[in-house]
Structure 1
Amino acid sequence: MRLSIKLPLTIASLLFLMAGAAITVELQLARGLNAFKTDVAAVNQQEREINAINIAFREQVQEWKNLLLRGKQPDKFQKHWSAFEKNEQDVAIAVGHLLDSLTEPEARGLLIQFAEAHRLMGQRYRAGMETFKAAGFDPHQGDLSVEGMDRGPVKLLREASGALAKNSALVSASTVEASHIAEIFSLVVISTMLLLGLLIGFLLSRSVLRLLGASRPTPPRSRARSRAGRLVDGGRAARRRRNEHDGSR
């Protein structure tokens, strides 16, 4: 193949390989970044949501205690009971929203159990509120009627939060490992392309030098030495023929 064709084809092939390597590296890095944006961000958001549920639930229980302490006054009773119901509703809505996106089996199962325990707790607290009113707003009677009702939901919520935290750590570790693999893959691809480029450059330079050597004209001195050599060889051959002729006489 002529040099005028081989050289552009070789350079074009090398550029094509380098572009392919760059695209491959970019895709690997984009995959790692996308995993961080989706998987890690999703579990972090779920952790924030379950923390918000925990805060709203504790505020709900605190409003019940405020009701028992200040419920003798009608305005205070209405204030704290309304706050209790609002927090109860906030917890239920937040739990439903989290369950829509939560796929981790352990945390999801615990959160479903919490939702049911929270619903039953609400019923018991309403019965306790009626007992509290019937007892002349006696806080002791109101407290006895719901004693220990919040312990089960608190335990379930704490376990669900722990399961989410564990899952978040696993997802983060998996994403970090995937990013390390992408980095190693990128280094391997870049190193391979570099070595391949050096090899192609070496082979191309040898080919160029070979073509240049084949097309180089013979120097005058070399031509003279070549003619002189041929003359010497011719003289030797003539002497051998004469000697053979003389010997045959």
Structure 2
Amino acid sequence: MPFARSLRSQSLLLFGGSLLLMLLIALAGFALLSRELNRYQSLVEGPLERLVEIDDTHLSFKIQVQEWKNLLLRGSDPDTAERYWQAFLTQEKEVDQRLQRLATSVDEDLRPRLTALRAQHARLGERYRAGRSAYLANGRDPRRGDAEVRGIDRETAEGFATLVAELHGRTAAQVATIRAEAQRDILLGGLALLLCGGGLLFLGVRLVERRLVDPLVACARQLGQLARGRFGERLPVGRDDELGRLTQSTNLLRDAAVQHTHDLRHQAAEVEALSALLAAQLLTEPGQPPRDVDTQTLKDVSRRLADVARDLQDAATQRQD
């Protein structure tokens, strides 16, 4: 198949697949962090917003109590007293409306407490009205007005404070949970990236070493042996890609060198035999008469030497081509 015959495609698959896997792990980590951000946003838009509203309601209640004190301390003038009383009623109405809205938006386990706090605040308003009536009936005497309502706001104020403290605790616990889970997700994402990167690095090194480096080293070693006149063993060919074709070409070069060496040895042996035959025809021992030269033998030796020379020249020409 084309993929198995292309080292470039295999390399692209290895590195591309590694990058894709790392990207998927990174995206998974971002998705986890995005989930924690959404949870934190829900916390901000939910419990934290309710907490701010309860704090504001508590502040409005304190302003309401302060307006009552202003009525007692600075209400000697009828117009001024009426102005402070209207401010008191405005704050009372605002506190009641806030408590009514909160009772429908907080968690269900807190709704009974807010409902009870609203009812308590309503009873508190009746007591303040009775105190105002006593205040007016006794010639705007602040002591008589204060005697009717002295300390009645303490329980309501403590109810607000307890509710605010509890919501603060719940919100802090949720923030701590979100922070811990976000840190855990960051740690897990980092470990996943580290392990995946290490595994891919190890796998990539092993694959590159086995599929690329080892075949190149084997081919280089074989060519080095051929350069020194050694042939060694044929390299195993089990691939059909570029390195497989390189290995096959190295084997062909090795086989050609072996065959060429065999031919040279055969021709050298033949030349040696012809030389011996020629020496037997032409050379004589000292003191012996010259031998009769066989002309046909000399012609045969000459023709055979010419054939060997032509074969050597043809072989050299083929190697150059």
- Computing the radius of gyration from Cα coordinates, the structure with the larger value is 2
1:224 counterpart = 2:227: no
Number of residue pairs the alignment of both structures matches: 228
Q: For the Cα contact (< 8 Å) 1:53–1:95, is it kept in 2?
A: yes
2:166: which partner in 1? 163
- The corresponding residue for 1:102 is 106
Q: How does 1:82-97 map to 2 (within 5 A)?
A: 82-97=86-101
Q: After the TM superposition, which parts of structure 1 deviate over 4 Å for at least 4 consecutive aligned residues? A: 219-223, 225-228
Please name the residue that 2:195 is paired with.
192
Classify 1:68/1:203 alpha carbon distance in 2 versus 1 (closer, same or farther; 3 Å). Answer: same
Residue in structure 1 matched with residue 134 of structure 2 by the alignment: 131
CA-CA distance at 1:145 after TM superposition: 1.6
Stretches of structure 2 lacking an aligned partner (at least 5 in a row): 216-238, 266-321
* Shift in alpha-carbon separation, 1:82–1:12, aligned structure 2, 3 A: same
2:171 partner letter? S
Matches of 2:211 and 2:255, distance apart in 1: 27
Aligned residue for 1:103, secondary structure, equals coil
Instruction: Give aligned-pair identity as a percent.
Output: 28
The partner residue of 2:11 within 7, 10, 13 is: 7
What's the C-alpha RMSD, in Å, of the aligned pairs?
A: 2.7
CA contact (8 A) 1:25 1:189 kept: no
Matched, 1:215 2:218: no
1:140 to 140, 143, 153: 143
Asked if the contact 1:113–1:156 (Cα under 8 Å) also holds between the matched residues in 2, the reply is no
Residue 22 of structure 1 is aligned with which of 5, 21, 26?
26
Matched residues in 1 for 2:5 and 2:88: separation?
Answer: 89
Select the residue among 84, 92, 95 that pairs with 1:80.
84
CA distance in 1, matches of 2:108, 2:179: 19
Q: How far apart, in 2, do the equivalents of 1:91 and 1:143 lie?
A: 22
Cα distance in 1 between the residues matched to 2:113 and 2:256: 95
Higher relative contact order (CA 8 A, sep 6+): 1
Paired with 2:63 and 2:29, the residues of 1 have a C-alpha distance of 50
CA contact (8 A) 2:68 2:84 kept: yes
Show CA shifts across 1:132-184 (max 9, x none). 22222221211122222211101111110110111121011111101111111
Alignment-derived partner of residue 118 in structure 2: 115
TM-score, normalized by length of structure 1?
A: 0.80
CA shift digits 1:117-142 (9 cap, x unpaired)? 11110111112212222222221211
Q: Which structure shows the higher helix fraction? A: 1
Deviations along 1:156-215, one digit per CA (max 9) or x if unpaired, are: 111101101111210111111011111111112211321232134124312234452643
Give distance in 1, aligned partners of 2:261 and 2:108.
92
In the other structure, the counterpart of 2:152 is: 149
Unpaired runs of at least 5, structure 1? 232-249
Q: Provide the C-alpha distance between the structure 1 equivalents of 2:149 and 2:254, rounded to a whole number of angstroms.
A: 117
The 3-state SS of whatever aligns with 1:97 is: helix
Matched, 1:46 2:79: no
* 1:72 Cα deviation after fit: 3.2
Letter of the 2:207 counterpart = L
Matching of residue 63 in structure 1 with residue 67 in structure 2: yes
Task: Tell me the alpha carbon deviations over residues 43-84 of structure 1, each in whole angstroms, 9 at most, x when there is no partner.
Answer: 333332222122211111111111122333210111000110
Contact 1:110 1:159 in 2 (8 A): no
Aligned counterparts of 2:87 and 2:16: Cα–Cα separation in 1: 73
